[in-house]
Amino acid sequence: MNDTIVTVVGNVADAPRRNNTQNGAVTNFRLASTARRYDAGTEQFVDSGTFWVDVECWNGLSGNVAGSISKGDPVIVQGALTTHSWESETGPRSKPRIKAFAVGPNLAKGMSVFKRSGRPADAAGSESTAAGEPDQQGGAGPVDDSASPGSPAGREYEVTVDALHSADADDLDSEPAHA
């Protein structure tokens, strides 16, 4: 219960490697996070030290990470910080490791397109995909008639006529979002 939960912003330093183990699928990659600080003497931002950390992603996250990120990508990783220790010829060694709970693109550095992964098989053994969402082959999934009217299956909101209203050009302000 005393996990050290961290969020690290950085760049993927090597190509993610996916392996299958007895405990499930795991994808590993190295993350470099370089701090920047303002140097008043030069009146510029300068790089400070770089924090290097190994990241491990298990099971469902493993496949999504392996299929989504590449070396050099700016990412945000959240997970439990641990220390990996081992014995080497020169004595005991250790390095930090994050068991990731979530990995995503750093949208401050660029844009991304999100694609939902396939849903787990339901009790009947068939793929259950929400209405209108593409399945793994890119087609539309089956419609779930058990969902409330107007509400996609598996969503945590309810769509009603009163919930959303249309906007036209006369309703929109021309002011910038940030003042």
Residues 88 and 140 grouped into a single domain? no
Using alpha carbons, list the distances in angstroms from residue 175 to 33, 54, 167, 168, 170. Answer: 36, 44, 16, 16, 13
pLDDT band at 178 (very low <50, low <70, confident <90, very high): low
Q: Would you tell me how many other CB atoms lie within 10 Å of the CB of residue 16? A: 21
Considering only residues 155 and 71, tell me which one the structure prediction assigns the higher pLDDT. 71
Residues 56 and 136 grouped into a single domain? no
> Which among 124, 118, 125, 156 has a CA at the least distance from the CA of 139?
118
Contacts with 91 (C-beta within 8 Å, 6 or more apart), sequence order: none
Q: Which domain holds residue 84?
A: 4-105
Residue 57 lies in a domain: yes
Residue 120 lies in a domain: no
Q: What is the pLDDT of residue 138?
A: 41
Residues 95 and 9 grouped into a single domain? yes
**Overall number of domains in the chain:** 2
Look at residue 48 and tell me whether its pLDDT is greater than 50: yes
Interval 6-45: pLDDT, tens = 999 999 999 999 999 999 999 999 999 999 888 899 999 9
* Strand residues in the chain grouped as ranges (E): 4-12, 17-21, 24-39, 44-58, 74-88, 91-105
Q: What is the pLDDT of residue 175?
A: 53
Q: Would you tell me how many other CB atoms lie within 10 Å of the CB of residue 61? A: 20
Q: What is the pLDDT of residue 113?
A: 87
Identify the CATH number of the domain in which residue 43 sits. Answer: 2.40.50.140
Q: What is the pLDDT of residue 34?
A: 94
pTM recorded for the entire structure: 0.63
As separate numbers, helices (DSSP H) first and strands (DSSP E) second, the chain gives 1, 6
Residue 94 lies in a domain: yes
Q: What is the pLDDT of residue 89?
A: 94
Interval 118-159: pLDDT, tens = 765 544 444 444 444 444 444 444 444 444 444 444 444 444
Q: Return the percentage of the chain with pLDDT > 90, whole number.
A: 56
Using alpha carbons, list the distances in angstroms from residue 166 to 129, 158, 174, 176. Answer: 28, 17, 17, 21
Give how far the C-alpha of residue 127 lies from the chain's centroid of Cα atoms, to the nearest Å: 23
Look at residue 60 and tell me whether its pLDDT is greater than 50: yes
Residues 101 and 136 grouped into a single domain? no
Residues 14 and 79 grouped into a single domain? yes
Contacts with 7 (C-beta within 8 Å, 6 or more apart), sequence order: 76, 77, 78
Strands 44-58 and 17-21: unpaired
